[in-house]
Structure formats: structure tokens, C-alpha cells
Amino acid sequence: MRQRRALVTGGSGDIGAAIARELAARGCALLVHAHSAPERAQAVVEAIHAAGGQARAVCFDLADGAATRAALEAELADGAIDILVHNAGIHDDAPLAGMQEAQWRRVIDVSLHGFFHVSQPLLLTMARQRWGRVVALSSVAAVLGNRGQANYAAAKAGLHGAVRCLAREMASRGISANVVAPGVIAGRMSQDLFDEAQLKAMVPAARMGRPDEVAALVAFLCSDAAAYINGQVIGINGGMG
């Protein structure tokens, strides 16, 4: 059986890196994507190599449709990309009343337009082989809302609708598409945001989640065993909602 290839966008971040490592540990050959931090993506690749896995770093701007398509066409020349995990996303928080248009557009460009740019070129190849997995990373903010994150929540909530449509369109071709919506996950972006009392008030589990917990869920959704899970938004948030 051919080794499956997986692309993880935003693979240089804490969650993306954990997902890339987990998929590599399960036998996939990884493409670890980054845009602004290629050196961190390369560090993830080196960690995968050290553990005996296969990986390469790729760098392109998901907000640029032409650049993304060109990068993917070059990769597809070497064979199908069987698994796409769209984890890339950015924050640029402000109350909506004071938010600049550039803040709104950039956040949506990366998470939502980026999903189209990176997924659309891969789908026909997945369909021809009658197997594929698409997982988009969302956020509890898209489900519950969060002050100062209208742009982020809108971008991530848009993924819910896009993925549900994609699941209906492609399920008969052996392709599943699902959303994973994490809550508060430990890492660089969250380490200084909440004290212990705030966490206990927000999260019934009274702790942050770990990137490896998110990665385990994503890797399961990318497996053969999860073939009948399709079009779902699955929270991993310690009971937040």
C-alpha cells in the first residue's frame, strides 16, 4: 500500500506541530506548512525525522490563491495528497465597533479563504482515488462567541458551513470532511492569557487542553476507522459547550 501523504497548514504552531508529529507517527509522510515562521516548520520536520518519520517543510501564503495553487501543483506532481489538515489561522483582536477593515479581512483571508485555496486543488485527486480526509481546525469561539474576536469567530464559523457542504459533496467518493473546534489549549498563544481562577471559571475541566489531545482526535478523524464520521463539528474543550 502506498504511503499516505498529509499536509498540515500552520504546522509551525503548537497544535499544528502536534498534529504533524502524530500523523507522522502513524505512518504518513508529512508536508509541514508555514508562512511567517519557516524555521519553526523546519524544527517540526527535524523532530519528525529524529523519531523515524518522513516530513518536509513547505512555505507559502494561504491568503494568496495563485501562490497556494502553484505550490500544491508542484507537490501533486509527486503524487496525491491524501490528508489535509487546515490548522492555519491568526488572531487580530478588537471590539467590532473599533475593528479596522484590514483586521477583519486578514483574519478571514487566512482561515476561511485559505481553506478554499488549499483544499480545492486537492479534491479531484482525492476523488479519483476514492479516498481522502479533510479536517479543518476551528475554535470554541466560533460556537460560543468571544469578546473582541468577531473576525476570528466569523472566519472559523465559516469553516463549519464549508466543511458540512464539502462532506455532502464528496462522501460518495470516500472523502470525509470534519471540523475540530478546540477550546483553551496550552501553548504560546494562551500561556499568559488566563490565571488558574479564570480557567476554573471558564472551563469545567478546570485546566487547559494539551496540543497532543487535539492531535489524537485529528489523527483519528484522518484514519480508516473514522470513515463514517463526516460533516461534523467536534468540540474538544473540557466541557465549555
pLDDT beyond 70 at 189: no
Helices first, then strands: H and E counts in the chain: 9, 7
What are the structural domains of the chain? 5-236 (3.40.50.720)
Active site residue 152: yes
**Residue 198: what pLDDT?**
81
**Residue 192: what pLDDT?**
60
pLDDT beyond 60 at 190: no
Structure confidence by residue, pLDDT tens digits, 127-173: 999 999 999 999 999 999 999 999 999 999 999 999 999 999 999 99
Burial 32-51 (b: 16+ CB within 10 A, else e): bbbbeeeebbbebbebbeee
What average pLDDT does this structure show over 12-36?
97
Q: Which residue has the cell 487547559?
A: 208
**Residue 211: what pLDDT?**
97
DSSP β-ladder status, 83-86 and 5-9: parallel
The catalytically annotated residue of 152, 218, 222, 238 is: 152
pLDDT tier for residue 191 given thresholds of 50, 70 and 90: low
What average pLDDT does this structure show over 207-230?
97
pLDDT beyond 80 at 19: yes
Q: How much is the mean pLDDT over the chain?
A: 95
**Residue 1: what pLDDT?**
77
